Structure 1
């Protein structure tokens, strides 16, 4: 019995060493220097050796891809990200082995255990604040715009479908955001840390399932958040088992109780907690609120005289040639959409614009006289992708004449009275039939 308990104890120590190294690398506490003016270079400098080792190990060991893609354009599941996880696992494994050889007779790591759990608590809290507050303002997933509503459902990839599913319902998005903010608030207080960790497991498990089920490329990151939450819960396994399974009374938790004897220690802990709350909650809320106000600012005056809507391309003349409508011609424009926020799209294959789900996207802005409109691929582009003179022969018609990519174009557009029932945000307490 003694040998078995000793073996378990040794396994526990080895697994702790592995977890300590891995979590310390992945949830790098130096990241908090990003919030200190002039010190943002510290976490960037610290990650450089790990990046170099990732490329080296991939070339000589992992070979996930011959050339790792480090710039995923928003994707967190790139080949580099997977090679990075493999690198961190390798470092943690080798480091735990060496550490175990050097300290084989060590009985516990109470201090290191306390600091690891503290780092994970505040890492999860900061992340939950960031994502949660964004959802509270219903700004992570947007309500489907006109271009998305006009795109056939079958053209969407699973991720975009899930994004619009959540963005459609502001109450659902706000509800999930409130849950994440509650996780953060509970985690930063010692007495509620276990409840916060339990709630984090539920919240992040839902996020992981969404990412796995809809192929959302944040799988690696969300799985790590779930594992970290489960790690914190696992530290209280004996108390939880006794309370929930054995129906026994349990003693108060001591996991996060570290006596601060000196006055400067107590003051320092309080100051750091307040600083964390101000930077993670207050500052984040302030930034997202400004973003919220900016996004919901009425820009209809700026976009005049263009009326947002879906326009059918009645006449399409390119370089003097009239191109008739055809369902098989992917280059001939079928419709043009001017959305409410200065974004637009057209139904055609046009590689000079942003192609997404069978539509070419652009941003538009009329001049102050309302006689000319410029299209840009991105808002910050210095040169327009197209420039058109505008004429409005009737309330529901628009004529565009100008140049795009070296081609002269003459378009006659007719505004359609297209109605999407989805935009009504329907909700019924009583439903007499299945719609």
Structure 2
């Protein structure tokens, strides 16, 4: 039984060390990023070998992700870490036959997980506090039929719709971070954190949000810290028995430089993580609230007249490649109702970025913000405040659009709230 307990502890020590990878926290130090890149390449080589030899998840693992944390590579990495952790723990136990585990090892494991949970809580909590993680549905999204959306986008919009709910979520995550910073409030922080992060994990699972693996690992972290001291929690909360304080987060440093070092490291963590999280969130919030001077007023623009090579064409509603309307958003964003893959096509609309040259009265259409060369350009002219003309060359064809701004409104965009509702609405 003692051997199983020792192997289990050492397994989790290696598992959390590899999944958290705290050395990436040092990337801000010049030169460290070079070493972490070498580490990343080495890990990828091991994961690919393990996948070839044992896992066989897929012939070619996807290391790109494009924003997803649940790619074949990440799952292969997760299984590889489990195998490595078990093998190393067994070998460690074979060569190190001490009957009792080092107290310092337990201290470092407790605090590694604890500060990682703090890190996650402050990073995500601060952006939710300013309602920045999930944005309010855009005009393009409001104009898209509900059934066209995938579950993740639906969940993103329903959380983004309500700023108070998102801010509440941020406050709860920040509360977890604050409670975990202080040893006396760690137990309360873990119980609150378990509730907060299980909710996030279940959302990811039920709405097919591709952060399932990462959120699961956060929940595992909370469960592990609660399980390792489960007897004390059980006595206090369930059995109504006396118990003793939790000591896994404490260690008696005998040397003065060690005590000073602990204070300096904790202070540095608070300043960098808490300070940077709020600084970054405030900067993003201020940027989002800047008054915009876009040449095209935001709105839905229906096509009144369409000419191709100077010949008038009626818009065919059954032609999926036809451009059926234009939507111009704040932030120089927009979309066209079409399946045309010239642009990034999502949920039945083609999304674009536009830059305006006011002097020449030309709009340059781009696929993404990072594009240095536009896809094409069109001259714009306002006949009146509601009538806009666009004309230019697209794929060797000369196109002319006369657009009329729609006065359509969306009840969802009104952010309605009623204390009293006489019936379901």
Q: Which runs of 4+ in 1 moved over 6 A?
A: none
CA contact (8 A) 1:312 1:334 kept: yes
CA distances 1:254-296 after superposition (whole Å, capped 9, x unpaired): 1212112222112111111110011111112112211111122
**Which residue pairs with 2:221 in the alignment?**
228
Deviation readout 1:89-142 (Å, 9 max, x if unpaired): 110111112122223453223221111111111111111111111111111100
Residue 262 of structure 2 corresponds to which residue in structure 1? 269
| Counterpart-to-counterpart distance in 2, 1:373 and 1:32 | 42
Give distance in 1, aligned partners of 2:370 and 2:62: 25
SS in 1 for 2:32: coil
Count how many residue pairs are aligned between Structure 1 and Structure 2: 425
Residue 137 of structure 1 is matched in structure 2 by 130
* Residue number in structure 1 paired with 2:392: 402
Q: Where do 1:10-89 residues align within 5 Å?
A: 10-89=3-82
The yes-or-no answer on 1:106 pairing with 2:96 is: no
Which secondary structure does the structure 2 equivalent of 1:341 belong to? helix
My pick for the range that moved more, 217-226 or 311-320, is: 311-320
Moved more, 329-338 or 257-266: 257-266
1:355-370 equivalences in 2 (<5 Å): 355-369=345-359
**Structure 1 residue 431 corresponds to structure 2 residue 421:** yes
Q: How does 1:177-216 map to 2 (within 5 A)?
A: 177-216=170-209
Tell me if structure 2 keeps the 8 A contact 1:133–1:288: yes
2:157 to 160, 164, 171: 164
Deviation of the 1:216 alpha carbon: 0.3
Q: Alignment partner for residue 311 of structure 1, among 301, 305, 317?
A: 301
SS of equivalent to 1:187: helix
Q: TM-score, normalised by structure 1?
A: 0.95
State the Cα distance separating 1:370 from its structure 2 match: 7.1
Moved more, 187-196 or 141-150: 187-196
CA deviation string 1:3-22 (max 9, x = no partner): xxxx2x32211111111111
**Structure 2 residue aligned with 1:346:** 336
* Aligned alpha-carbon RMSD (Å): 1.4
Separation in structure 2 between the aligned mates of residue 355 and residue 422 of structure 1, nearest angstrom: 24
Structure 2 counterparts to residues 261-340 of structure 1, below 5 A: 261-299=254-292, 301=293, 303-304=294-295, 306-340=296-330
3-state SS of 1:238 partner = helix
Secondary structure at the counterpart of residue 331 of structure 2: coil
Query: Which of 216, 231, 249 is the equivalent residue of 1:256?
Result: 249
**Conserved? CA contact 2:139–2:329, under 8 Å:** yes
Any conservation in 1 of the 2:69–2:212 contact (CA below 8 Å)? yes
| Aligned 8 A contact 1:130 1:280 in 2 | yes
